[in-house]
Amino acid sequence: MNILKLTAFAGVSIIVSACSHRPLPIDVTREATPYIVKSIRCETRNAIRQEVVELFRRVGDEKSHSFTKALADEIEAGRASFEDVDKAISKGQVHQLAADIYDVYDGYAVGFDFELTMREDNDESANANFRLPFTNGEFTLNLSAGHNRQRQNKRIVEKSDTFRELFTTLTREECEADEKLQRNWEFPIAGRIGMAEQLRTFLALDDALKPSGARSKLDRFLDELTFTTTYMGSVTPRVVLSPPITEKFHLAEASGTLSANRTDVHKVTIAFAAPPTPPPDPDPVEVIVLNLPSSVGVARTKTTRRRQERRVRVGRRQRAAAGAESAKRQVQRDLRRRRIEVIDRIRN
């Protein structure tokens, strides 16, 4: 009997706890919406950082460039920020191949479209059977009643960033906990969702590691992830009374059902975009030195070339920043176009 009581109490507890006035993600994931959004942005940020680390390390090994390889170790250990990388590139300390690809990364953008749908169904029903025996037969009366409630909440959040903005608006301290975040098999949206693989796929399809003249620009790249989790619970008590030795109108049987269903559909669409193809870097200025000693001419030529290279790097960085804003707008357009496509598909 104690086991039956415990089972009934557990079932009622599940049903009562599932009932809420307005379903929210935090009810089941135990994480609020801002945390969910920040967590995926941090996962993306960490994936970008790791791509830069692997890029610098690979170029450092292949080109035997010790500074570039050492800088990769510093970034991975958290001792070098991307401001430090910018300064090293502007000074010409990073190998040119790594600097060129880094500038390509600097022009990318990513956008997230979250659609979190929570639905609860809470149903209650009761049945009672009454009997009135008489000489030649029996009169029966069956009564039933029910109370059904349904609540649904759809929360939509859109967020887009350039790759650089992920490092200027999110600090390493904010994202440190997310580096150790594991996959959440029950509610995946609240854990790691595999942004590193999505980033690598996008970079490979966009030919990010090829020279700008040999790259095949990717028109559109979206991943649409849908995670569905459903909880169900019910309690069905029933009472059957032994036939009394009486001819009075009496309750013969009574039963009831309490049930609750909670379905969470967490959808996130992720879009990456590349900037428009930038114009090629200007050719180095040809330096002509007349009527000067050879040593002075060589010195001035080297100084002028260094200044020209610095201007090229600054110009490239400015174009990357402008291209990143363009890519960000493209991400926003892609996400909105996708939403329109989904709506049209539902209507048709």
pLDDT grade for 31, boundaries at 50, 70 and 90: confident
Average pLDDT over residues 130-142: 79
How far is Cα 102 from Cα 163, in angstroms, rounded to an integer? 11
Quote the CA–CA distance of 126 and 253 in Å, as a whole number. Answer: 11
What gap in Å lies between CA 104 and CA 101, rounded to an integer?
Answer: 5
Dihedral (Cα; 205, 210, 211, 216), 10-degree rounding: -30
CA distances from 301 to 38, 92, 311 (A): 50, 17, 15
Contact 236, 256 (CB under 8 A): yes
User: What is the band of 144 on the pLDDT scale with cuts at 50, 70, 90?
Assistant: confident
Instruction: List Cα–Cα distances, 259 to 14, 120, 237, in angstroms.
Output: 9, 11, 12
Distances, alpha carbon 335 to alpha carbons 169, 187, 204, 271, in Å: 21, 23, 21, 7
Amino acid at residue number 107 = G
User: In terms of Cα–Cα distance, which of 109, 113, 100 is closest to 48?
Assistant: 109
Task: Give residue limits of the domains in the chain.
Answer: 2-347
Residue range 195-250, pLDDT digits in tens:
999 999 998 888 766 655 556 677 788 999 999 988 888 888 888 877 765 667 77
In tens, the pLDDT along 58-97 reads 999 988 999 999 999 999 888 888 889 988 988 889 998 8
Contact assessment for residue 65 and residue 73, using Cβ atoms and an 8 Å cutoff: no
Residue 76 is which amino acid?
A: E
User: How does DSSP classify residue 25?
Assistant: T
Q: Strands 238-240 and 221-235: what pairing?
A: unpaired
Q: Round the CA-based radius of gyration of the chain to a whole number and report it.
A: 33
d(CA 334, CA 321): 20
